[in-house]
Amino acid sequence: MVAVESPPVTTGPGVPARRVPVGLVVVAVAMVCVAAASLLSLLDPGYYGRLGLPEPGALDRLLVTALRATAELGGGLAAGSLLFAAFVAPPQLGGVLDVDGYLAARRGGRSAVVAGLAALLLGPVLAGDLSGTSGPTVLGGDWWALFATLQEPMAWLLCGVVLIVAGVGGLVALRWRTMPLLGALATASLIAPAVVGQAANGAGHDWATDAVILQQVATAVGLGVLVALLAHLHRGGPHRDLVLRRAGRLAAVAAPVLLGSGLVLTVLWIGFAPFGTAWGVVAIVRLAVLAVAAVLGLLLWRSRPGPAVVVLLAGFAVAAVLAVVLERWLPPRFAEVVDTPAESLIGYDLPEPATALRLLLDWRFNILFGGAAIALALIYLVGVRRLGRRGDGWARGRTAAWLCGCAALLVVTSSGVGRYSPGVFSLHMISHMVVNMLVPVLLAMGGPMTLALRALTPAGRGNPPGPREWIAVGIGSRFLRVVLHPLVVLALFVGSFYALYLTGLFDIALRYHWAHQLMNLHFLVIGYLFFWPLIGVDASPTRLPHIGRLAVLLAAMPFHAFFGVAVMSTSTVLGGEFYRLLALPWVGNLLDDQHTGGGIAWAAGEAPMLLVILVLLQRWSRDDAREAARHDRRADADGEADLEAYNAMLARMSGSERS
């Protein structure tokens, strides 16, 4: 954390005074938050006392909570500060960080290093705490074997390494383009410990995992961005209105997301009778404080931005501290309810067979992908409406394609297909093929980046870049050109199937909801990157002629067919241990169901490819017609000058041969 000095101010006639550096205030407040979390953790026996196990000593509990609070608060400050440097603080015209971006990046870098060291220390301390031994004892024995059986300590070690990498980058980087990557790394590092903690257990853990992911991201963005904004206002930085507007938009999204995710976790873990336990009381107090701070802060944002930032920051800080405390305590339902095998493995029961009617009507909303599908559809419609207000047209076919893609993503992840896919391999394969093959095709045909570039207002010459310029920079980035190279994207698109299903990764991914969501995200992104340069409306950094696009498609089709045949031909059940533990009574022979899934992969993979080929051929024909029309217009304008020149050349050549 860097101390941000301000110009001297006057407190009386000719009496200069200096404001307290924001960095010192942040450090002091962070230390108070860590101390408060540590002391509050002692007020409840936690999961040890609730489960009747011997409790660790007070010093061990204080150390675990203090390190966790330091890692989470410092990581959040780091992530938000780096994102502030990336998207809120305007860079210089050459792409070098301006003063505010530089200060935010250095503050984020130092915070990330501190948080990373705390996370690395938390790994062995937490392993000793969970195993009933001390940290030195853990490191002195067969620590790797112990860590391999304890997911949370391993996650904190990973978190620490990633935070230190992001921190070093924040301390040395000077250019704006590296800030989004560093901010994303710091934010993602905080997700790893959360998804293997309390949220990964018991009934409803699919919703709890999604909610805790959103909670970690919202907390990180809210804390760090608000601290960086407070420092900016404190030092009287430039572009005040622009910075306030951008930070306000982030806060206006982060606060409701944090409140909503906390509400989901509270309802899942204590039901609708929250005041019967200390956990429930603290959870409700946390939500109330955050709600009051969010409403008051957002209402004051335009009229009194300084107090509004302080109020919002206080709400986020209290919510973060109480979240650390609640992670140490045991949610009431874990001590009162015995979960079924299905609830433990996938988060809910599947007692009835997957009939066509149930696949259509038996919905279980996927918080991440269902919410993303709805949000993407609404944002797209807002862009189309903005174009319409300006009198600009937008093809209805593109809008229809985009909305159909969002609808397909919503249905395949949240309808009965999404509900049953974790427990039935054949339905999983349907979901996988739609996410990887159909949804990306429809989204690419919607032209989202072209719409954004047309709907967003340019920043103007001499002004700090805005969202329109960020998108243009991203499209033209070297990284995207490398990823979209035909050989690279083809290898990623085709190789993902074999790497996941035929190497044992699928067996691991089945056990965890976060891995299942990551798998969906991977296939969605890879599918979009594959189809974008082939049939996408948006201009691609890699331009292929039509014959080259057709060659890439034809090269991918046999690999899809071979994959389907390989799944149909194997005599080993993929994910067999998981499906046998799940033991759905209405599922027949697992190998037969797997062979059905292989057939689905074969057929469902070829159908979208044929559709893409038809679209590509239609566009090829249309482009040839346009080129012919342009040639005809040029010929009419110059009186067939090119043809006459060509004939004259032939005549001269013929004359020279005769002579």
Query: Which of 78-87, 552-561, 602-611 comes out lowest in average pLDDT?
Result: 602-611
The total of other beta-carbon atoms located within 10 Å of residue 222's CB is 28
Write the CB contacts of 391 (distance below 8 Å, at least 6 apart in sequence).
none
Q: Are 157 and 147 in contact (CB under 8 A)?
A: yes
Q: Are 94 and 236 in contact (CB under 8 A)?
A: no
Nearest CA to 405 out of 446, 371, 449 is that of: 446
Domain boundaries, the chain: 22-342, 367-456+474-638
* pLDDT over 80 at 334, yes or no: no
Place of tokens 């067999």: 576
What confidence tier does 642 reach under pLDDT thresholds 50, 70, 90? low
Higher per-residue pLDDT: 68 or 634: 68
Q: Which H or E element spans position 538? A: none
pLDDT of residue 6: 39
Write the CB contacts of 258 (distance below 8 Å, at least 6 apart in sequence).
214, 215, 218, 219, 222, 290, 316, 319
Q: What is the pLDDT of residues 490-501, one digit of tens each?
A: 899 988 888 888
Average pLDDT, whole number, for the chain? Answer: 82
pLDDT of residue 143: 58
* Tokens describing residue 449: 């980046």
Average pLDDT score over residue span 214-222: 90
* pLDDT over 50 at 9, yes or no: no
DSSP code at position 90? P
DSSP 388-423: HHTT----HHHHHHHHHHHHHHHHHHHSHHHHHTTT
pLDDT of residue 116: 94
Q: What is the pLDDT of residues 152-199, one digit of tens each?
A: 888 899 999 999 999 999 999 888 888 889 999 999 999 999 998 888
Distance CA 487, CA 401 (A): 27
pLDDT of residue 182: 92
Average pLDDT score over residue span 292-309: 88
pLDDT of residue 138: 52
What confidence tier does 378 reach under pLDDT thresholds 50, 70, 90? very high
pLDDT of residue 1: 38
Q: How far is CA 639 from CA 624, 630, 635, 642, in A?
A: 22, 14, 6, 8
Q: What is the pLDDT of residues 415-442, one digit of tens each?
A: 999 999 999 999 999 999 899 989 999 9
pLDDT of residue 586: 87
Is 334 exposed, middle or buried, given 0-12, 13-18 or 19+ CB atoms closer than 10 A?
middle
Q: Are 166 and 119 in contact (CB under 8 A)?
A: no
Higher per-residue pLDDT: 133 or 541: 541
What confidence tier does 649 reach under pLDDT thresholds 50, 70, 90? low
* pLDDT over 60 at 38, yes or no: yes
E runs forming strands in 510-650: none
Q: Which residues pair with 12 in a beta bridge?
A: 15
Average pLDDT score over residue span 570-596: 87
CA atoms within 13 A on the CB side of 239: 21
Q: How far is CA 653 from CA 217, 577, 659, in A?
A: 73, 79, 10
Distance CA 482, CA 345 (A): 39
pLDDT of residue 212: 93
pLDDT of residue 91: 79
What confidence tier does 2 reach under pLDDT thresholds 50, 70, 90? very low
Write the CB contacts of 134 (distance below 8 Å, at least 6 apart in sequence).
60, 128
Average pLDDT score over residue span 253-259: 91
Q: Which residues pair with 15 in a beta bridge?
A: 12
* pLDDT over 70 at 53, yes or no: no
* pLDDT over 60 at 327, yes or no: yes
Query: Which of 5-19, 61-75, 302-316, 502-516 comes out lowest in average pLDDT?
Result: 5-19
What confidence tier does 15 reach under pLDDT thresholds 50, 70, 90? very low
* pLDDT over 60 at 137, yes or no: no
* pLDDT over 50 at 7, yes or no: no
* SS3 readout for 242-276: HHHHHHHHHHHHHHHHHHHHHHHHHHHHHCCCHHH
pLDDT of residue 644: 63
